[in-house]
A and B are shown apart, each in its own frame.
Chain A
Amino acid sequence: MSVGFVLPIMLLLPLAGALIVAAGRNKFSRNGLAGIATASVGVSFAAALAALLALRSLPEGEALRHRLIDWGSWGGEPFALGLLGDEVSIWWMLVVTGVGFLIHLYSAEYMADEADYGRYFAKLNYFVFAMSLLVLSDNFLGLLIGWANVGVASFLLIGFWNRRQAAAEAARKAFIVNAVGEVGLILAAVLIFAQFGGWTFERVFQGVETAPVGALTAIGLLLLIGAVAKSAQLPLHVWLPDAMQGPTPVSALIHAATMVTAGVYLVVRAYPIYEAAPLALHAVAVAGACSALFGAIVAVGQSDFKRVLAFSTMSQVGFMMLGAGVGAYEAAMFHFMTHAFFKALLFLLAGVIIHHLGGEQDIRRMGGVGKQMPAVYAMFLVGVLAIAGAPGLAGFFSKEEILHAVYMRGEVILWALGVAAASLTAFYMVRLFCLVFAGEPHGGHEGGAGGRGPGVVILIPLAVLTLLSISGGWLHIPGVTDVTGAYLGGFFDRFSRRVALIGQAPAWLGWLTIAAAGVAAWLSAMWFRPQGMGWKTARAAAGRADQGPLAAGFFVDSFYQALVVRPLIGLSKLIGLAVDPWVVDGIVKGLSGLAARAGSAVQAVHRGHMRRYALSVAAGAGLALLYVLVV
């Protein structure tokens, strides 16, 4: 209990940083602003490390706790914003603040030409605070508050370039789609209170045993709506590709490494509810598997560098959901961590390349970047291999663990979807890699229009992330190391109702995915090498708008546009034309007109004729008398 004080430090430092940077954005030097923002997240990361050590020293089953704000009590239930540092939340905090720190550092140089330097860092710090609140809260209400704050931070950062129409629209879209998810989450919170009489995880999870399955399923499905919206899973994924309008480090931090995994966190956090509601858990797995495959297919057809990575994120988060959905929470957490490493690396490298090419984002107009920037080439190769699942690198171990778990649970269809998504991952990543790095420079980018190459402040985070993308998976090599298992201990056994897996996974399972991914990568390399057909078609189409179902993401956007957005706009226009001027204005104007007319009518009586007043008093008295006499 006594070491719980590291939790508020972890939580509040980024908030303090955000406030200081926001207040001093026009007064402090640029180095000062970046320094304050980066240091606050760095110290927060140190606090997370301290919390990790403190947690290890506690007996198993106990966690760090801190009561931040007491709100009093409600119906006998103490009502407080408490912080909880257990295995899951500390794991998440380490990645959020660790990767967050590296991306702050990268931003310090990457955003150097930006006029609104202070505003950028204030918002970035605010995001880290919001995410920490989401992760550290010890009850569903605090989680919801953090969740909403994360949504606001995402809105602010996607729309950072607020003079760009596209960025403003993307920010709005992300906010609205996330609001749909928040409705689910709020309803879930209401149901939780109705069912358990409180919001703390402890209370809720203790009540799970006796709660009716129907209520638990409803709660689980409502939570899933929130998770699906925040984690850009089918069918609420449409905001994520558009969110790439934000600055690239933001895409790396929020829309790849941390925020979009909030949905996975929610499922993992609420696992006792899902364990007791198999239907809801299965829905998680199905949503994850479908999103994994959908994202991977659509990523093949994208020609914008960042949109490829965005759909890839959707696909990878789908893997995490799939893992969580079959009860392999450790695997989901593991993949969350490795994905944060290699996806942040890929995004940050994308930023360097886009800067180098003077803002060019169309991969069909790129090429030959490898010769100009060998270091970037090497690091990107590591990232591609890691995400594609090349044996030995980070993504391989975590993805294999998930696919193994899915197979061992007997979900063969979901497993097949996962394997297909994994091989497609290799396909689209190799395609991206070939189009960007292979061949000769293209489209007038020979000299590197962006001028200077990346400096040391950018290279340090890149190098660290490269190392982590290589070694992150070594935390759990089956049969060799098991750091994640040792760390989590029996955490997920407490409420797990699953029967223990019997026997060993067949050996061909791992080889099959490796072979499938390898073949996909080879096909892609043949197709998109400078002599290949795909290369030539891509180059020929360079600069033109994308056509076809893949590029349009299977028209999900158009579907929503036709089914939701247009009718809504039509309805508001109708209301604006008919209801507002006639009904609403009519009521208001009618009331004011009535008052005015009543005033002028009564005016005639008040002429100041004293004897007439006296007469009306007498007449009134007479009437009163008459009333008394007659009635």
Chain B
Amino acid sequence: MGLQSVDTARPSRTLIGAFAFLLATSLSRLVCAEDVTVPPSLQAALLAKVAGYDRNLPRRAGDQVLTLIVTRKDGDSERVAGQLEEGLRALSTIAGIPSKVERLAFVSAGELAMTCRRRRASIVYVTPSFRDDARAIATALRGTDVLTVGAVPSYVTDGTVLSFDLESGHPKILVHVGRAGEQNVSFDPNLFRVAKVVDR
């Protein structure tokens, strides 16, 4: 009984070189892209439905729900913005009200708050790469009548009213009730049958 010896290995220097290169690349880039766990297209559909639970939306929006997608010069931010924009445009209405979507290049939290008030934005969607600005955005928008939504789950604890995460492969809604109150967002209690409150 036995087994033959076969060696078909090509020189492994190439492989080891590839390893070394990739390892060096990896270790030299200990940056942190923020995880968007729920695909933006699904976030768009969820956002449109959840916004319908905001009892102040019709008054705030008037005859048009304006959604501002806040972006910055960053690959993740721009890609998620594009995917969310595509998803929202496909819906055409939110809570039965015609929907309009615009991108807004982020300058500062204060500028964002001013733009929201001036443009009567109903929804502000914060794309990835705003981890360091989330609290400032929350502070600036305090008292502003707007529903803020974070692309990244942790944004809801840092600065938005709403975000989405995955739990066991299914999306879940995260709501910051205190911040909702500060931004005149009044959710129908039925939403809390399916949403998770993060500040309680």
Query: Do A and B make up one complex?
Result: no
